[in-house]
Amino acid sequence: MSTNDNINDLESVLFNEDEINSRLDELSECISKQYGKSKLTIVSIMNGSLMLTAGLISRLRIAFDLRCLNVESYYGETKSKGDVFINSKKMPDLSGRSVLIVDDIFDTGKTLKEVIKRINSECNPLEVSCFTLLKKKKQRQVNIAPDFVGFEVEDSFLVGYGLDYQGRYRNLSVIGNLKKEVIANPST
């Protein structure tokens, strides 16, 4: 496992690099099979799915087009406040395309719900599916769920492999929980 300068801020590691990589091998195989005959556009939700998108697309064996959407979901310390902003005035034209939305984690589901709504109402896609690396086990108010999920996790705040705490820890090659004292006293 490679090390990162801030890995010492983790209380525990839930998924190490090998576990993430082998799950991505499986899921990218599955996605390559499912979309082999489609006109696929991957819509990557930035910034959280940066690492995941790179990991996924480098494994795909099929043709696809890539679009990125910059989406902010407002977080208090470590909980979603439920407001979702898509920072894109003009959405892409996805006429006749099969769309796979890629995001880091499915928490309240409000981000994916909003992105699906905007894509369906403004982009004219043929079909829309979603892939998240993580899905928290919890009750939700939304009536959608990702079609492809890397790992189901307990409902706790996670960082690494794209997931951040106040902008940090996205570069960790593992996924884990932060130490409580780091959340109480974040360093710069």
Using CB under 6 A as the binding rule, whether residue 44 contacts ligand IMP is answered as no
CB of 74 to Mg ion, least distance (A): 11
Using CB under 6 A as the binding rule, whether residue 80 contacts ligand IMP is answered as yes
Reply yes or no on whether 107 is catalytic. yes
Q: Which of 5, 107, 147, 164 is catalytic?
A: 107
CB of 48 to Mg ion, least distance (A): 3
> How many residues comprise the chain?
188
CB of 37 to ligand IMP, least distance (A): 30
Residues between 146 and 165 that touch Mg ion (CB under 5 A)? none
Distance CA 30, CA 36 (A): 10
Among 20, 31, 44, 48, binds Mg ion (CB under 5 A): 48
DSSP 63-131: -EEEEEEEEEEEESSSSEEEEEEE--SSPPP-TT-EEEEEEEEESSSHHHHHHHHHHHHHT--SEEEEE
Interface mask toward ligand IMP for 90-109; x: CB under 6 A: -------------xxxxxxx
Cα 113–Cα 154–Cα 70 angle in degrees, nearest 5: 35
